[in-house]
């Protein structure tokens, strides 16, 4: 009786391993429509990744204050890209374009010493 239980246990174990290894095989799409949808999704994901970036917003508010902060920033940080944007109802000063959130966070630490209300925004060109 013990031998039968042992054999059954061994067989179940072997079948479970066989079943798991069968799931590791590559997926092949025989359907052309599925291939097209998969390629469209892949292309869209690539475009989304390439067009997504991070920027730091250092101010939002009235035009006079935004213009003053924008001019001050351009004088002190000539090598960093900056822009003055109008989005109803506020003017916004945004600086830098970063692909990596970690690089943006490092820049934010430095910028917050001068502009304490700064924060990171994730943007996309799409």
- pTM, full prediction: 0.63
Residue 16 corresponds to which tokens in the numbers above? 């479970």
The predicted pLDDT at position 62 comes to: 94
Angstrom distance (rounded) from CA 81 to CA 41: 32
Name the residue ranges covered by the structural domains of the chain. 53-124
32: exposed, middle or buried (Cβ count in 10 Å: 0-12, 13-18, 19+): exposed
pLDDT at 22: 46
CATH architecture of 53-124: 2-Layer Sandwich (3.30)
Name residues whose C-beta falls within 8 Å of residue 40's C-beta, 6 or more positions apart in sequence. Answer: none
pLDDT in tens, the chain (126 residues): 777 877 788 767 766 665 554 444 566 666 788 888 888 888 888 887 778 899 999 999 999 999 999 999 999 988 999 999 999 899 999 999 998 999 999 999 999 999 999 999 998 765
Question: Residue 15 and residue 116: Cα distance in Å, rounded?
Answer: 62
């Amino acid at each position: 009786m013990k031998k039968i239980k042992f054999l059954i246990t061994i067989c179940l174990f072997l079948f479970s391993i066989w079943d798991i290894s069968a799931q590791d095989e590559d997926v092949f799409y025989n359907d052309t429509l599925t291939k097209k949808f998969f390629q469209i999704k892949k292309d869209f994901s690539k475009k989304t990744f390439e067009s997504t970036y991070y920027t730091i917003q250092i101010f939002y508010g009235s035009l006079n204050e935004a213009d003053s902060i924008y001019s001050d920033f351009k004088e002190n940080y000539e090598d960093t890209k900056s822009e003055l944007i109008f989005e109803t109802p506020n003017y916004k000063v945004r600086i830098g374009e970063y692909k990596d959130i970690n690089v943006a966070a490092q820049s934010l630490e430095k910028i917050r010493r001068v502009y304490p209300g700064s924060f990171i925004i994730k943007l996309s060109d799409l």
